[in-house]
Amino acid sequence: MTTTEISSILEKKEREKSLLLAFSNHLATVRDMNGVRVIIQQFLKQIFSVTEYLITLRNDDNKTYSYFMHDLPVPDPTDEGFKIITGDKMPIAGAMTGAVLQSEEPVTFSIQDNIRTNRYSFPSLSFWRAAGASQIMGIRLRVAQEDIGILWLQPGKVNDRLLKGISAQIAIALANATANRAIERQLQEIRRYKQQLENENRYLQSEIRDTHNSDEIVGRGIEMQKVFRLVERVAFASSTVLILGETGTGKELIARAIHQHSPRKDKLMVKVNCAALPEHLIESELFGHERGSFTGAIDRKIGKFELANDSTLFLDEIGEMPMDLQVKLLRAIQEREIERVGGKGTIKINVRIIAATNRPLHLEVMEGRFRSDLYYRLNVFPICMPALRERIEDIPLLVEHFIKKLSRSTGRRVMDIAPEALRELMTYSWPGNIRELENLIERSLLLTKGDVINKIFLPASSIKTEAVVNTASVHGSDALLKKTLDENERDYIVAVLRQCKGKISGPGGAAAILGVPSSTLNSKMRKLGIRKERAYGN
């Protein structure tokens, strides 16, 4: 080889390097697919003299491909091959696309041979034939061992070395544009979630002000004044609080009152209902989990302890927590640190704990259903919520409050309650406490035609009266006066169960007669040691 020939080869290589460098520099300036499309069209046609080409991209499913761009003459816009270019996804398997993606080198196909043998599926074949092509070459576009797509063109336009350089630059540009597009989608999603969270935050703040405003806790009687004094004393401390009381006595309202009057009031109180979560999800809900830590953990999850950092965590129905998780809860409270499920390190937390339960935890400890060390850790500052029957003097205030509140939400303009109806409310036993009273007022509002509630629709009052009579007849006329409150309540529930032949839920069931949810009645039965099969004559 002569010196002139060598010099010519070197000059050609330098020119190719310069072209590729210019191509790369221009592609590096664009961030989206449209910009990539413009640069490719400009360079392939004007600099590399490639006048007919086509680019297909592999779809995320790894099974199909779609056309990205082309610079081919369109002899007939109605041609089936052209329709496919702008149409749906096409399968890779069995097509020329699959053969090219499996090859390290450019692959050349004869259009005539493919028509004769029908070896490869190539739906846009008629398009290429109409464009006057006899052969078609495909070279894969690959970045970091990942196939992006294929550059199709007629062979002989550029040498293989330059073609590989062009395809490498196009692949990088397409990968970057795809990544930028994904990042933009994620940013849009983040902005959408942020807006949604801000809206939810405003809604929750409004709900707390309107629904859980501690200033609206109604009660002027002696028992509630005791509770208010305790709330006032403990609110500004960081001490753990245990709120005890029957279902429907307003334990969550008191928890919110403590939080709203504490130094942590600027952050939302985080609530966890320990009874409402499946046992296998409680740990993840409280402490969070790392991605892949268990089946279904596709993303990292922040637990309620982390969400409540520098705020208050309200653990409702703490008595329902499984024993194995009580150990982890105790450690989190004592050490002030948690560990996510699947995590490799601990996370320091500053969380105030307020727990609530309708179970007698001291008895649960004695019977081995609740850890004594956790009980003593929670029972730093106990607050006992009185049952409604223990604060009868507050019923008129509560009724007035609920009439005003529910008149707005139901759209009924009821202004007052008749004295006879109020007296009926004050002689009722209220097994469902304040929640039952609120529900009853709402029902009465909806059934009242005028602007005064004249009749109270107590649930199955005649059966209840008969149950009380039966209870008294069994235990003596003055038996009710000689028993503890729990003993009387147990006898009362047993008598109602007997009337219902042991039926708890549904129409005519004991829960409906007592005016409480069936879950509440079951919880009460467990607390009082009532077994359904023994409660009605067995």
Question: What pLDDT, in 10s, does the model give residues 262-271?
Answer: 999 888 888 9
pLDDT of residue 82: 61
pLDDT class of 461 with cuts at 50, 70, 90: very low
**In angstroms, rounded to a whole number, what is the distance separating the alpha carbons of residues 416 and 399?**
9
- Own/partner pairs, 102-108, CB within 8 angstroms, 24+ separation: 103/140, 105/139, 105/160, 106/137, 106/138, 106/139, 106/155, 106/160, 106/163, 106/164, 107/137, 107/138, 107/139, 108/135, 108/136, 108/137, 108/155
User: DSSP of 59-75, one letter per residue?
Assistant: -TTSSEEEEEEEE---S
Question: pLDDT: is 394 or 522 the higher one?
Answer: 394
Q: Is the pLDDT of residue 358 over 50?
A: yes
212, 213, 218, 222: CA torsion to nearest 10 = 100
Q: Is the pLDDT of residue 178 over 90?
A: no
* Of 175, 142, 150, nearest in space to 64 by CA: 150
pLDDT of residue 464: 47
369: DSSP letter: S
Domain ranges of the chain: 12-183, 212-386, 390-535
Distances (CA, A) of 371 to 193, 209, 246, 255: 40, 36, 21, 23
Question: pLDDT: is 245 or 214 the higher one?
Answer: 245
Sort 211 into a burial class: Cβ within 10 Å, 0-12 / 13-18 / 19+: exposed
- Show the tokens assigned to 78: 């109605």
Q: Are 372 and 352 in contact (CB under 8 A)?
A: no
CATH class (in words) of the domain with range 12-183 = alpha beta
- Select from 3.90.1820.10, 3.30.70.100, 1.10.1200.10, 1.10.8.60 the CATH code of 390-535: 1.10.8.60
What average pLDDT does the segment 495-517 reach? 79
Residue-wise burial string across 452-489, b where 16 or more C-beta atoms lie within 10 A, e elsewhere? ebeebebbbeebbeebbebbeeeeeeeeeeeeeeeebb
Of 166-170, 243-247, 290-294, the range with the lowest mean pLDDT is 290-294
**In angstroms, rounded to a whole number, what is the distance separating the alpha carbons of residues 209 and 227?**
21
Q: Is the pLDDT of residue 467 over 50?
A: no
**In angstroms, rounded to a whole number, what is the distance separating the alpha carbons of residues 483 and 488?**
6
Is residue 243 classed as helix, strand or coil in its secondary structure? strand
Distances (CA, A) of 357 to 228, 251, 267, 435, 455: 19, 8, 24, 16, 34
385: DSSP letter: P
pLDDT of residue 326: 92
At position 58, the amino acid (one-letter code) is R
Q: Which residues are within 8 A (CB) of 60 and not within 5 positions of it... i.e. 6 or more apart? A: none
At position 259, the amino acid (one-letter code) is H
Instruction: Give the CA angle between residues 392, 394, 395 to the nearest 5°.
Output: 70
**In angstroms, rounded to a whole number, what is the distance separating the alpha carbons of residues 386 and 430?**
12
**In angstroms, rounded to a whole number, what is the distance separating the alpha carbons of residues 19 and 25?**
10
Is residue 383 classed as helix, strand or coil in its secondary structure? strand
* Of 428, 383, 343, 400, nearest in space to 233 by CA: 383
**In angstroms, rounded to a whole number, what is the distance separating the alpha carbons of residues 34 and 10?**
35
Q: Is the pLDDT of residue 243 over 90?
A: yes
Q: Which residues are within 8 A (CB) of 453 and not within 5 positions of it... i.e. 6 or more apart? A: 403, 414, 416, 417, 418, 421, 441, 444, 445
pTM above 0.75, yes or no: no
* 118-122, 125-129, 377-381: range with highest mean pLDDT: 377-381
- Show the tokens assigned to 116: 């004769």
At position 455, the amino acid (one-letter code) is K
Q: Is the pLDDT of residue 344 over 70?
A: yes
Distances (CA, A) of 43 to 20, 317, 517: 10, 69, 74
Q: What is the mean pLDDT of the chain?
A: 80
**In angstroms, rounded to a whole number, what is the distance separating the alpha carbons of residues 241 and 468?**
37
pLDDT of residue 204: 59
| pLDDT tens digit sequence for 372-393 | 999 999 999 999 999 998 998 9
Is residue 251 classed as helix, strand or coil in its secondary structure? helix
E strands present in 246-289: 270-273
pLDDT of residue 474: 44
Question: pLDDT: is 292 or 243 the higher one?
Answer: 243
**In angstroms, rounded to a whole number, what is the distance separating the alpha carbons of residues 439 and 500?**
23
| Rg of the chain (C-alpha set) | 38
pLDDT of residue 345: 80
341: DSSP letter: B
Q: Is the pLDDT of residue 233 over 80?
A: yes
Give the rounded percent of residues in the chain with a pLDDT score beyond 90: 19
At position 317, the amino acid (one-letter code) is E
| pLDDT tens digit sequence for 128-172 | 776 677 788 889 998 888 888 898 887 776 777 778 888 888 888
Q: Which residues are within 8 A (CB) of 454 and not within 5 positions of it... i.e. 6 or more apart? A: 418, 420, 421, 448
Architecture of domain 212-386: 3-Layer(aba) Sandwich (3.40)
* 105-109, 258-262, 480-484: range with highest mean pLDDT: 258-262
